[in-house]
Amino acid sequence: MTHTSSTGNNDNSNDSYANLTAVVGLDVGVGGDFSATVAATATVHTSAALPATALYLTETGDTSAISVNDLHQDGIGDCFLISAIGELAINDPTAISNMIHVNANGSETVTLYEGPAWFIGANTNSGLHAVQETVTNTFAFNSVNSVGNQDMVNGQKEIWPQVIEKAVSQLYGGYNVLNNGGNPALALEQLTGKAAQMQSPSSLTLTSLMADVSAHDLIVMDTPNSNSLPNGLVGGHAYMFEGVTGTGSGAMVHLGNPWGIDQPTPIAFSQLSKGITEVDVGHFS
């Protein structure tokens, strides 16, 4: 489920996106070229060989069981989704626990949302409706947190990120479809049931960004397909917004890499357009 994104000054209608750089198929995966190379032809296999699992665990250094630190994208090219999930973990962890229902047979049912194609940028949520995806705890070998020592506490593995990723993969049509990449704004809508918008960083003011921060909006920032970006940014990738430090000309934007490694350095707000091609904003209300 991908689309061509496009930009302008008015982020409240699809017509405003005529000049945005396309971010269809965002993602190059951990290690740079791997996901991009295999995305078109990969068959994603699953394995039942898992350690003991728990939906939520509090790891050393975490202040809550649901944390952005729980996310490590690994091999599937779905940075657009993992970054959107990360924004929920940062801004409203209870939204994650509320969307996952544990069934008596050990499976989970996840509430997601779907709507008509090209819903991004609408002023209304009426096109989105809730759907339930039930998943079993068997995940793709290269799914989020698939490395053995990730999210482990006393021999148990925390699986809420894998549960959500698998539920969304079913909504999309399978892990292989996720591996082709996608758009973070659509992912934000599918997770929240609320309309999301896209805009060019050149049209984003510091005042409007801080208003989004105050509203606890979910913000994902996307990079162009380039091998020479500043601040340690990876091309064709989506990043979680983690905050702003400083004010005025000294304002610095902090982003988080959904890989869980290779974090970019803080970006001067005045230089944001040099490394970011699109800003996706989701809402709770």
Domain ranges of the chain: 23-192, 197-282
Residues 6+ apart with CB under 8 A from 156: 51, 52, 53, 54, 57
Identify the bridge partners of residue 129 per DSSP, sorted by sequence position.
Answer: 114
Mean pLDDT by 10 residues, the chain (285 residues): 29 26 44 30 44 85 88 94 97 95 96 74 68 95 86 84 97 91 92 92 96 96 96 97 97 97 97 97 85
Name the residue among 116, 84, 285, 83 with its Cα closest to residue 194.
Answer: 285
pLDDT digits (tens, 9 = 90+) for 81-138: 999 999 999 999 999 999 999 999 999 999 999 877 555 555 556 678 899 999 999 9
SS3 97: helix
Amino acid present at 8:
G
Q: Residue 198: beta bridge partners?
A: 280
pLDDT on residue 243 = 97
- Is the pTM higher than 0.95? The answer reads no
Inter-CA distances, 274 with 57, 112, 231, 238, Å: 38, 34, 10, 15
First to last CA, the chain: 24
User: What residues form DSSP beta bridges with 101?
Assistant: 109
Q: Which fold has domain 197-282?
A: Cathepsin B; Chain A (3.90.70)
Chain Cα centroid distance, residue 46: 22
Pair 70, 147: CB distance under 8 Å: no
